[in-house]
Amino acid sequence: MFDLIGMNASETLFARAQQLIPGGVNSPVRAFRSVGGTPFFTQRAQGAHLTTADDVDLIDFVCTWGPAIHGHNDPDVRAAIARALENGTSFGTPNPYEVDMAELIVELVPSVEKVRMCNSGTEATMSAIRLARGYTGRDKIIKFAGCYHGHVDSLLVKAGSGALTLGNPDSAGIPASFAAETIVLDYNDADALRRTFAAQGAEIAAIIVEPYPANCGLILPDPGYLELLRELCTQNDSVLIFDEVMTGFRVAAGGVQALVGITPDLTALGKIIGGGLPVGAFGGRAAIMDHLAPLGPVYQAGTLSGNPLAMAAGIAALKKLKATQPYDRLEKMGRTLRDALLGAAKSKGLPLQVPQVGSMYALFFSEQPVRNYGDATASQTAHFNQLFKYALDHGVYLPPSAYETCFISTAHEGADIEQAAEILAAGIRAI
C-alpha cells in the first residue's frame, strides 16, 4: 500500500489508481514513464487551459490528443450535447444525427462517398483493413514503421505513439501468424515500396498510412511520396487507406488529402468528429463501402456506433470549422511557436527540428530532418524530457513523450501563444 500522507492531490489519486488500474492509467502514455515523474490529474478544462486536481493552471498543447480544435469545453459543442441529452443518451436504433454527420463528412472529405460510424480510431482502422481484405480477396497489408493505427493486432507492429514511448513497439499477445500478413516498410523509402509491389503486388490488399505520420513526432512526406502510394495501389488493384484520425479536419477541413490533392480509396477518421466524445468513422468509395453488411459480406457492427451525444458534439465542431475557417490563424500560431523554438535552439547551439503543419508540430533534437521512424528514434529524447519538465514547471503542458505531436486550438490565439512561446524558448535555453 502507498503512504498517502504528504502527497498532493494528483499524487494521491495516482497512488489509489495504481492499486486498481494497470499502471494507474487507462492509456499508457499518460503514465509519464517516458518523461519521468508522477502524472497530474485534471479536474477541469476551459479554452486552452487545463486545471489540475491541485488547482495548477496549464496552457495545454495536447488538446485531448487532438479533438479540441476549438479549445476545451467549447460553448457551441457543450450546448449541442445538452440539447441532445434532453432526448436520451442512446437508442439502439438509427437517429437523425447520424445522417447529418454523414452528409457533413461526405461534403468535406474528398475520398468519402459513403461512411460508417464507429466508436474509436482503432475501430475505424481495424474495420477499414477488414473491408479492404474483403473487397480485394487478399490478405497482406503494408504499413510503415512508426505509424500507429490503434491497438489492432495486425497493425501493432513497429507502431508509434504509446508503444514507441514505452520502448516496446510490438506487443505481447499478438500471434505471429497475424503479424506475418503485415509488411512493414520505412516511411519515405520509395525504392522499398516499389520493390515490395514488384515482388508481392498480387497479394497486397492495402496500404494503410498516416499521410503525415504523427505518432512518432510529426513526419512530413518527401515530394512525390504520397503520389507514389496512390500510383502503386492503382496499378496493383490494392486499396489505399489514409489514416486521418489525427489530421482529418485539423490540417484542413478535408484533411491531408484535401491539402495535397490525392484521393485514397478509404479514410479512417476520429477525434474532431466527436467533439471530445468517443468516436470513429471510416468511409470511401461507394463500390468498396457497399461490401459492408448488411449490403455485403464484410461484417462490422457496434452497439454505440452513431451515438447521438457524440454525433451532436461532432456536428457542432464540424459546423463551427465550416463557419469560421480557422486554418490560416492556426497556421500563424504554429509558425509563431516553431520560430520561437528554432530561434532559441540556434542561440543555444542545440540541434533542433520543428516540423509543423497548421495546428500540429513536434520537436526533434536532431541535426538532420526526420524522415522516418529510425530518424525519430535517433533524436535526443533526453533534451525533450528536460524541456517537458521545464515547461510543466512554468505552466505549459506538452505531450509526455518525445514521440508525440503537439496540438494547437483556436482558443490559444493571442496571449496564450505569446506566453507559451516565451516559456518554451526559455526552456530550450535552459537545457
Rounded mean pLDDT of the chain?
Answer: 93
3-class SS of residue 95: coil
How confident is the model over 355-408, as pLDDT tens digits? 999 999 999 999 999 999 999 999 999 999 999 999 999 999 999 999 999 999
- Rounded-to-10 torsion of CA 266, 272, 273, 277: 130
490529474: which residue's cell? 41
Residue 162 CA to residue 403 CA, distance in Å, equals: 8
Distance (Å, whole) CA 355 – CA 218:
6
Range of the structural domain that residue 405 is part of: 9-61+326-430
Q: Give CA–CA dist 84/277, Å, rounded.
A: 13
As a three-state string, the secondary structure of 386-404 is: HHHHHHHHCCEECCCCCCC
Name the domain boundary from 295, 323, 351: 323
Contacts of 137 (CB under 8 A, 6+ apart): none
Are 330 and 316 within one domain?
no
Work out the widest C-alpha separation in the chain, in whole angstroms. Answer: 66
Query: 64: buried, middle or exposed (CB in 10 Å: 19+, 13-18, 0-12)?
Result: middle
57 domain residue, yes or no: yes
Co-location of 333 and 408 in the same domain: yes
Q: Compute CA distances 344 → 386, 391, 421, whole Å.
A: 15, 14, 10
Q: What is the mean pLDDT of residues 406-417?
A: 98
Q: Are residues 232 and 182 part of one domain?
A: yes
Residue 88 belongs to domain with CATH number: 3.40.640.10
Total residues belonging to the chain = 431
Q: Among 34-38, 149-153, 216-220, 373-377, where is mean pLDDT lowest? A: 149-153
Q: Dihedral sign for Cα 79, 81, 87, 93, please.
A: positive
What's the domain count of the chain? 2
User: Catalytic positions, please?
Assistant: 148, 243, 271
Reference 49, options 312, 420, 297; nearest CA is 420
State percent of the chain over pLDDT 70. Answer: 94
* Residue 24 grid cell: 494507474
pLDDT tens profile 140-189: 999 999 898 987 766 766 555 554 444 444 667 777 777 788 899 999 99
Say what the pLDDT of residue 2 is.
47
- 280-284 and 266-270 as β-strands: parallel, antiparallel, unpaired? antiparallel
CATH number for the domain spanning 364: value is 3.90.1150.10
